[in-house]
Structure 1
Amino acid sequence: MLDIKQLYDGFRNPETVRHLARTIKDEAEDLAAPLNIMEVCGGHTHTIMKFGLKALLPDNIQFIHGPGCPVCVMPKERIDHAVTLAMQPDVILVTLGDMIRVPGSQGSLAQCRARGGDVRPLYDPLDALRIAQDNPTKTVVFFAIGFETSTPMTAVLLQQAESRGVTNLLFHINHVLVPPAVNAVMDDPQVQVNAFIGPSHVSVIQGAKIYQPLVDNFATPVVVAGFEPVDVMESVLRLVRQKVAGEARVDIQYSRAVSPDGNVPAQQLVNTYFETRDAFRWRGLGPIAHSALRLKPEYAHRDAERQFGAVLTDREIDDHKACQCGDILRGLAKPADCRVFGRGCTPQRPLGSCMVSSEGACNAYYRYQGVLNER
């Protein structure tokens, strides 16, 4: 029988990590220029910080943190939508995880709940169906958020609501797409990224092939990596070897779960209910064309933005002036560069989304490296 604990201990084995670090150091001597690796996903950022992986690498290899946290990239006006909806009569607003604590211009959903809004956190999106069935006189709005990883579950929830005739469940869709955001980062002349660690959970659904245009357009190698320390270090080694060999291609390190084509049935389910928006504003990146999803017109009866359009506004709302989340999400600054990091901005009292989210770069720095070590 497979011992899961032993399996995961292997992916965290200190000697394996040290061996990879020594190999990276030796082979990185042949790099013609510094290797600036953007780890797109916040999960990778936390692994790098938690296990001190940066300290094991030579000086000519740097990690640059990217926009890979769906909570972090959500602009304040979208959070304000959620707060406004939660304060409507006979509305129950349900959502997942960190969204409850993310501040908008009207406060967070947690503060909205303290003011009387009916806000309920979910552990499973399908719980929204039960809440709607248990409250037939209420309108339940699922504030759906996430990258390509979580979109199929929203599609399953919608499919179930349709098939069971649960008419009082609506959706506020905030699913965003990784490749357009990465392309937007690379189009910024200030960004000095020349290699990518690609998020494996996105690739499980969409397949590693979604990164091929990035390789073709920017001659930038991409390695799709798992989230354990050995995964990250092996991926760095693969990037070093591509650079030394003068190559640029998509490589799958996380082959135990990722394929080139991904989960085709999940993709088909998503395509049944969703289409891309013309543009969507990302926190710190601005509007990006075709970078987010919305419900197709035939499901307008499920679309909270359409059904509550009279009370929702799309007025753009800037971040707090002292917050540098925008620069951090574009890889132009480290969390410790922000003058309010660890002072006016902490996980308990966040000014910006990079601190409040459990996958945010600021949260990772604060949690694992500490304020005093970073200042």
Structure 2
Amino acid sequence: MLKLKDRKRAIKGLAEELKGLMEGEETITIMHLCGTHEDTVTRYNLRSLLPENLKVVPGPGCPVCITPDTDLQRAFHLLEKENVILTTFGDMARVPFEGKSFFYYKSKGYDVRIVYSVFDALEIAKTTDKPVVFFAIGFETTMPSTAVAVLDGVENFYVLSAHRFFIPAMEHLLSFDDVRIDGFICPGHVSTIVGVKAYEHIKVPQVIAGFEPEDVLLALCMLVKAIKNGENCLLNEYTRAVRYEGNVKAQKVMNEVFDRDDWEWRGLGVVRNSGAPLKKRYEDFDALKVFEDAFKDFEPREDKKKRLCRCGDVLRGVATPLDCSLFMKACTPKNPIGACMVSFEGTCNIWARYWRG
């Protein structure tokens, strides 16, 4: 880690290099794909250091944010129909639908428990005869842990999977006519699992980056140079954590337990091969299969309160939180309407905490 004065010098130097690279150029738009990257960009006000013709927009990098209301309703439906212990992460527990959330159900006497990992849920299952359901969200970063828990599972432990494979979403984003993406800053956490090789088939310039301000600015320099030179590059700035092959053991256990399907993402619609249902051989741990009678009358609805919410547009990179009429008015971190205002990795939540205008 550089000393503070050296970091300031590095950041200033990279910002000046970017201004020189972009002088006289047409607008370049870079999309990053990680909530932690947006936290870095906004917390350190990096956009103020960039030339006006270099745009850095957030994409669908927050797993809480991209989980569609249909998945949330399905979990609520299970709580109402079956006498289960529902476990999930704390940020997911605050996402509202029609004024309800997991915390709402907890306040009404339903057995909802907040866990820090899937293994906490597994331990709860070992101490009770009641069914314990883990509402599983997240990308390849958290999927291996869920897979291990299934392989080590006990009879009353079940997974309601809302996991998504991330790479298909990048391909899907490139298919939108209203989304301009000249290059990607790839997600650092996901990349530690999938490795550099996972991005080789995506035909736009990409850089895998770490999370310090100088990491992000260096990644932008690398991308701008590649774009100016017409190079379809795939570069790894985050070499201290990401390897070409990724975490092979994690990939193996993940692919052992999870299948692939076409699933919806908030803001993106249905993304091919992105869904992660449990494979048939593990359906004894699949809450959708075990409690399928409870879901026979399940019908997803629209939350009319969210009609003005632009969370989906923010996730697709075509709007900022400031474009939403609800931002910091009806929708705040204490009283969120959209999922992007809930999670600490959500763009609206980050802008609410750090935005300087």
Shorter chain as normaliser: what TM range?
A: over 0.9
Aligned positions of 1:235-246 closer than 5 A: 235-246=219-230
| SS, match of residue 36 in structure 1 | strand
Separation of aligned partners in 2, 1:258 and 1:145: 22
Q: Any idea what SS the aligned residue of 1:182 has? A: helix
Are residue 300 (structure 1) and residue 283 (structure 2) matched?
Answer: yes
Q: Does 1:264 align with 2:271?
A: no
Matched, 1:174 2:162: yes
TM-superposed CA distance for 1:314, in Å, is 5.3
Q: Map Cα deviations across residues 262-285 of structure 1 (whole Å, 9 max, x no partner).
A: 1111111111111101x1111111
Q: For the Cα contact (< 8 Å) 1:224–1:235, is it kept in 2? A: yes
Aligned with residue 337 of structure 2, among 342, 351, 357: 351
Q: Taking structure 1 as reference, are residues 81 and 368 closer, same or farther at Cα in structure 2, changes over 3 Å only?
A: same
Q: Which residue of 2 aligns with 1:138?
A: 130
Question: Which residue identity lines up with residue 29 of structure 1 in the other structure?
Answer: E
SS of the residue 2:246 aligns to:
coil
Please name the residue that 2:193 is paired with. Answer: 205
The equivalent of 2:73 in structure 1 is 80
Given residue 225 of structure 2, which amino acid in structure 1 is its aligned partner? R
SS at match of 2:294: coil
CA 1:113/1:11 → structure 2, altered by over 3 Å: closer, same or farther? farther
Deviation at 1:353, TM superposition (A): 0.5
CA distance, structure 1, for counterparts of residue 303 and residue 73 of structure 2: 12
Q: State the TM-score, normalizing by the size of structure 1.
A: 0.90
1:88 is displaced (CA, Å) by 4.2
Distance 2:294 2:99 in 1: 14
- Please, which runs of 5 or more residues in structure 1 have no aligned partner? 1-6
- Give the aligned partner of residue 121 of structure 1: 114
Q: Where does residue 49 of structure 1 map in the other structure?
A: 42
* Residue correspondence of structure 1 range 152-163 to structure 2 within 5 A: 152-161=144-153
Cα displacement string for residues 311-343 of structure 1 (whole angstroms, at most 9, x for unaligned residues) = 232535356111011111111111100001000
Which runs of structure 2 are paired with 1:1-375 in the superposition (5 Å)?
Answer: 7=1, 13-29=7-23, 31=25, 33-105=26-98, 107-135=100-128, 137-161=129-153, 166-215=154-203, 220-277=204-261, 279-312=262-295, 313=298, 315=300, 317=302, 320-369=306-355, 373=357
| CA 1:194–1:233: 2 relative to 1, 3 Å | same
In the TM superposition, what whole-angstrom CA distance separates every residue of 1:119-160 from its partner, at most 9, and x where no partner exists? Answer: 11111221111100111x200001111011111111111122
- In the TM superposition, residue 304 of structure 1 has moved relative to its aligned partner by 0.3
Find the aligned partners of 1:192 and 1:129 in 2 and give their Cα distance.
43
CA distance in 2, matches of 1:89, 1:213: 44
Question: 1:228 offset after TM fit, Å?
Answer: 1.2
CA positional deviation for 1:97: 3.0
Worse overlay, 287-296 or 47-56: 287-296
310-319 or 146-155, which deviates more: 310-319
Which stretch has the larger CA shift, 97-106 or 39-48?
97-106
Q: Distance in 2 between matches of 1:78 and 1:111?
A: 17
Structure 1 counterpart of 2:61, one-letter code: G
Where does the alignment leave 5 or more consecutive residues of structure 2 unmatched?
none
1:241 Cα deviation (Å)?
1.1
Deviation string 1:89-126 (CA, Å, 9 cap, x unpaired) is: 43100112311101124611011111111111111221
Shift of the 364–9 alpha-carbon distance from structure 1 to 2, 3 Å rule, reads farther
Greater shift in the superposed pair: 89-98 or 170-179:
89-98
In 2, Cα distance between equivalents of 1:368 and 1:84: 36
Contact 1:207 1:263 in 2 (8 A): yes
CA RMSD of superposed structures (Å): 1.7
**Which letter maps to 1:127?**
D
Q: What is the distance in 2 between the residues matched to 1:262 and 1:246?
A: 27
Contact 2:141 2:190 in 1 (8 A): yes
- What amino acid does structure 2 have at the position aligned with 1:201? H
Q: Is the 8 A contact 2:192 2:241 kept in 1?
A: yes
SS at match of 2:132: strand
Count of matched residue pairs: 354
The answer as to whether partners of 1:11 and 1:229 remain within 8 angstroms in 2 is no
Give aligned-pair identity as a percent: 40
